[in-house]
Structure 1
Amino acid sequence: RDWLLITVNRQGTQFQALEEESGQGATTYSNQWKAIPAHLNWQAVPESRPTVDGPMIATVVGPEGEEIFCDEYGRVKIRFHWDRDEVDDEQRSCWVRVSQSWAGGQYGAMALPRIGHEVIVSFLNGDPDQPIITGRTYHATHTPPYALPEHKTKTVLRSQTHQGEGFNELSFEDQAEKEQIYLHAQKDFDAQVLNDMTQHVKHDQHITVDNDHFSQTKNNHHLTVEGERRALTKKDATEIVEGNLHQKVGDIYALTSANEIHLKAGMKVVIEAGAELTLKAGGSFVKVDASGVSLVGPGINLNSGGSAGSGSGFAGKMAEQPKS
């Protein structure tokens, strides 16, 4: 008959191995075993697995020269403080999942802990084979973005430039009478609005562009200024209107040029005044008013030859389009 061995207990003594009892006693060996008929189904009782009680502190590690090290799932490598091997490389652990504040299919929040960051590691159901990073901590070496408790009223989201100097930041100041939302982009800032965008500034607005400013409106552009409107252009200015241009002034329209004013029309120019019209050059002038037409000058020439004066003509430049 065939038997299936399921348990073996061995027991032996060898007093010669004990220095204090060398040479005393005999060497013995015995065993006890249990077996069942081979045709019976049998499964060993699973041994209890070790468990981890509570979270642990660890440090994020990775290859030398890297600042950020992760896989396609956003998992990182860590080294526990009790690890006797002091080498901080990517061989210290398995890939460890990182808890995020929001996680969905192709949407949510993502902030990877970087090499050197201190993290809090928990274990799912206490299983040491299922670690997961559930938090991050500041300490004496890695301090908060702003000094505390001096800036205790700030809520801050600040990143750090990868392989360079600088940061991006969104922060909120909640101190009474000093409330502020601060946004800092280390390089570019891009915003996309698929429908309407509304801004309402209830006091002043100040905008400074240190280089070029490009703007494009693909439909209508309306501007209303209820107070004064002032503009200063320190170099050339060009305005091109491909349709009609209408200007209406409620009181005085004053135009001054240090050198030349050139008006040119493809068909006709009409200058109309309700009371008086004057053309003046040097000491000569032509004045038209209700009393008649007055021509005054050192001499008045009619059909005496000569040629008309000419202007410089249009030399403006088309506007450049903003980048998309």
Structure 2
Amino acid sequence: MSIYDSLSGLNVPANKKVYGVMVGVVTNNKDPEKLGRVKVKLPLRECQNETFWARMATLMAGNNMGSFFLPEVNDEVLVAFNEGDLHQPFVIGMLWNNKDKPPETNEDGKNNIRKIKSRSGHEIIFGDESSKESITIKTSKGHTVTMDDSGTGKIEIKDKDGKNTITIASGTNEITLNSDAKINLKSKSNSVLIDSMQNSVTIESAMQLKIKSQKIDIEAGGMMTVKSGGMLTIQGSMVKIN
């Protein structure tokens, strides 16, 4: 039953205008016309009062673009009617209540956190504390991407266990990759280039270092030193030393 039918049953004139706003509960968010609309139950009678399909007032809307945040069924929303017309409802906002509480508190009164949190627990967190500003994207399982403006600043990608990280440090201009297992660099169609324009490149292993290819060229524009703390073996079908 629509809200229009309910009001008719209460001997309300068909042209009756409803001004102001009403608090309602979403009953359906599967719009058959795929326009991002919802239906809402309003507390006018004890029966199931539903509005007509209500358009959503959102942060941004355009042709195949904009912000898409539909309320869930049973979420509490705020409804208004275009020029008071019951046939033209709009959802102009969504509401928390004692049952459905916000994903963040402001216990210290400083209001330093802004957050978007999805139903499954994915989060985008904006930290506005002075000198500690940051943006964090976090999945429900705990994988994070953090852009941290505190100190000299850094960008960090971290897995849920914190065992694999990529850190870009702005202050030192360093990029650090850490893993509890392997780090693989692969290129299927081109080359992998490691280049230090002004200083040196160091490749170091506590155990064993292997370099393997169909062809290997090692060239020094100046002096080259090959040194071993143990036995040095040079082997080939032919060895030529100029």
TM bucket normalised to smaller:
0.5 to 0.7
In structure 1, how many angstroms separate the alpha carbons of the residues matched to 2:227 and 2:140?
45
- What TM-score do you get using the length of structure 1 for normalisation? 0.50
Among 245, 264, 268, which residue is 2:235 paired with? Answer: 264
For residues 113-154 of structure 1, give each alpha carbon's deviation from its aligned partner in whole angstroms, at most 9, with x where no partner exists: 112221111111221111111111222222222222337211
Among 6, 17, 28, which residue is 1:51 paired with? Answer: 17
**Contact residue 53 and residue 89 of structure 2 kept, 8 A:** no
Counterpart for residue 106 of structure 1: 64
For residues 15-62 of structure 1, give each alpha carbon's deviation from its aligned partner in whole angstroms, at most 9, with x where no partner exists: xxxxxxxxxxxxxxxxxxxxxxxxxxxxxxxx9821111121111124
Counterpart for residue 152 of structure 2: none
- 1:137-148 pair list within 5 angstroms: 137-148=95-106
Unaligned regions of 5+ residues in structure 2, if any?
1-12, 145-167
- What TM-score do you get using the length of structure 2 for normalisation? 0.64
Shift of 1:82: 3.1
In structure 2, how many angstroms separate the alpha carbons of the residues matched to 1:172 and 1:94?
36
- 1:141-160 pair list within 5 angstroms: 141-150=99-108, 152-160=111-119
Shift of 1:173: 0.7
Q: Report whether the alignment pairs 1:81 with 2:81.
A: no
Q: Which has more radius of gyration? A: 1
Is the alpha carbon distance of 1:252 and 1:264 closer, same or farther for their aligned partners in structure 2, counting shifts above 3 Å? Answer: closer
Counterpart for residue 70 of structure 1: 30
Is the alpha carbon distance of 1:51 and 1:237 closer, same or farther for their aligned partners in structure 2, counting shifts above 3 Å? Answer: farther
Shift of 1:94: 3.1
In structure 2, how many angstroms separate the alpha carbons of the residues matched to 1:96 and 1:152?
32
Is the alpha carbon distance of 1:240 and 1:228 closer, same or farther for their aligned partners in structure 2, counting shifts above 3 Å? Answer: closer
In structure 2, how many angstroms separate the alpha carbons of the residues matched to 1:49 and 1:211?
71
Q: Secondary structure at the match of 1:125?
A: helix
Among 137, 143, 155, which residue is 1:183 paired with? Answer: 137
In structure 2, how many angstroms separate the alpha carbons of the residues matched to 1:101 and 1:142?
22
For residues 199-247 of structure 1, give each alpha carbon's deviation from its aligned partner in whole angstroms, at most 9, with x where no partner exists: 772246554446664443545524338588564477x754334444326
**Contact residue 52 and residue 88 of structure 2 kept, 8 A:** no
Q: CA RMSD in A?
A: 3.7
Is the alpha carbon distance of 1:262 and 1:184 closer, same or farther for their aligned partners in structure 2, counting shifts above 3 Å? Answer: farther
Q: Secondary structure at the match of 1:186?
A: coil
**Bigger mean CA offset, 92-101 vs 208-217:** 208-217
Q: Report whether the alignment pairs 1:216 with 2:174.
A: no
- Give the paired residue count: 199
In structure 2, how many angstroms separate the alpha carbons of the residues matched to 1:55 and 1:211?
58
- 1:1-324 pair list within 5 angstroms: 49-62=15-28, 69-71=29-31, 72-85=34-47, 92-150=50-108, 152-161=111-120, 167-186=121-140, 201-203=170-172, 207-209=177-179, 213-217=183-187, 218-219=190-191, 221-224=193-196, 229=202, 231-232=204-205, 238-246=210-218, 254-255=227-228, 263-270=234-241
In structure 1, how many angstroms separate the alpha carbons of the residues matched to 2:82 and 2:184?
54
